[in-house]
Structure 1
């Protein structure tokens, strides 16, 4: 589903405008995504509780078509997060827009994941109990890397994407259930499973069960991730986007312009209350 936004001109925009009119919008159907259409999209998003960004992505189009939106991120989630983090709502909108992969669930209802074979290797050789022998764990991890390099490997890679990532994870769980769940990133914000304890969950299984329920819970895990990283939290509060991007995205942040995208997203949302008063 193609994302529609301000400046677009197409038959898809015309169809969306017709859908908006059927939901009560006073809008001219001309196929041009101008100010009036953006305002109508924002009004519709606010009415149904979706994130109010004026962009007609897959979630807004799904809702307009009468689809099930129960698992989707809600605008009130962002409003509450801004209060919780004590930052402008525009800052929360910016990090949600730039740092999210867009959706937290696959079409089959399973959470979006990415299995990291190099993390699996690391988790397998990490002592978990006082009686663990580090040299034996290292030997075992190396042996598995030799026999199952697609699942256990000192080097990253082997990604398949989509539903196939769940197949990779299922195979890895047969090797070590806990290590496998810890070695995948989960949901729209790609939070690694091994962060479960830092984020306040009782186990990695509890973390996985939680983020498998809704995007709202995935977003809560993302907020916890920020709260429990003092440097990241400080950068967000000061709106030091270069520092935030470097800490969250790693050394590739410059190549992908994450800091610039964050700044531009903040500026775009700075003058919009995004339904803050209504949500409160």
Structure 2
């Protein structure tokens, strides 16, 4: 569940009560207005979470006393902004729009999506053709076959039995969906090392994302210039306009910039 500005529900009322238990002084009216958003941001900064004013699964879990050690923190985004030489609000926008929102599933495994068509490309040649004939759900020149959630790890496990390295390289990993085959470009020892880092924490997943930007001079330059259409095109591909990634990035940047994020 994700609660945000404009929502009206019993869940919002419950959120307001939990925030009041942590020092807020809200009227538990069930309306997610400016005061509630501000209280959420204050709580997020106080606990070190990403301070976006949105009560997503991480914030709600934290309010209930869950362990947030592996989660992305405000300080991590600040460090990334300093390293890339861009405003903190720009990193917040990227995290909001380009991230899946969380880097780990409820069972503790990193979020992944196995791409069977990438597996086909990584294997190449007669072997790829033969394995595609025998295992079309795992090796296929056409994308698809997605199941989602924890089931993607089952698909990956089956693919690893065919070829461990190619399988790991054929999945996107973590909150920022970095493909495994980028491991060498990003400075990891091998794809297994990359996967090990992606399984450690969301800050490690952000590290891979920062390296992805650093090692693409054109993308890095576009981000520094805040040219959101170019950023979206380079990161999301030619179809970025269909999903309005550039518009979403610009709006998110303006929203976070307007709230003048404080460095925790």
Report TM bin, short chain.
Answer: over 0.9
Query: Which whole-Å CA distance do the structure 2 matches of 1:144 and 1:41 have between them?
Result: 51
Number of residue pairs the alignment of both structures matches = 264
1:21-170 to structure 2, matched below 5 A, reads 21-125=20-124, 138-170=125-157
* Contact 1:52-1:275 within 8 A present in 2 as well: no
Query: Which whole-Å CA distance do the structure 2 matches of 1:150 and 1:165 have between them?
Result: 12
Query: Which whole-Å CA distance do the structure 1 matches of 2:251 and 2:260 have between them?
Result: 17
Find the counterpart in structure 1 of residue 244 from structure 2.
257
Cα RMSD (Å) of the superposition? 0.8
- Cα shift at 1:6: 1.2
Under a length normalisation based on structure 1, what TM-score does the superposition of the two structures give?
0.93
Find the counterpart in structure 2 of residue 134 from structure 1.
none
- Cα shift at 1:221: 0.5
Find the counterpart in structure 2 of residue 214 from structure 1.
201
Find the counterpart in structure 1 of residue 211 from structure 2.
224
Query: Which whole-Å CA distance do the structure 2 matches of 1:275 and 1:58 have between them?
Result: 23
Query: Which whole-Å CA distance do the structure 2 matches of 1:7 and 1:149 have between them?
Result: 45
Q: Does 1:245 align with 2:236?
A: no
- CA deviations 1:225-251 (Å, max 9, x no partner) are 011011111110111111110111012
SS at match of 2:258: coil
- Cα shift at 1:85: 0.4
Structure 2: 5+ residue stretches without partners = none
SS at match of 1:114: strand
- CA deviations 1:30-85 (Å, max 9, x no partner) are 11111111111110000000001111111111101111211111100100001000
SS at match of 1:270: helix
Find the counterpart in structure 1 of residue 256 from structure 2.
269
Find the counterpart in structure 1 of residue 159 from structure 2.
172
For the pair shown, the structure with the greater C-alpha radius of gyration is 1
- Cα shift at 1:193: 0.3
Query: Which whole-Å CA distance do the structure 2 matches of 1:30 and 1:149 have between them?
Result: 53
Q: Does 1:198 align with 2:185?
A: yes
SS at match of 1:185: strand
Query: Which whole-Å CA distance do the structure 2 matches of 1:109 and 1:26 have between them?
Result: 34
- Cα shift at 1:264: 0.3
Runs of 4+ in 1 over 4 A off after TM superposition: none
Query: Which whole-Å CA distance do the structure 2 matches of 1:39 and 1:31 have between them?
Result: 15
* Contact 1:6-1:34 within 8 A present in 2 as well: yes
- CA deviations 1:148-201 (Å, max 9, x no partner) are 111111111111111111011001000110010000000010000000011010
Structure 1: 5+ residue stretches without partners = 126-137
Under a length normalisation based on structure 2, what TM-score does the superposition of the two structures give?
0.98
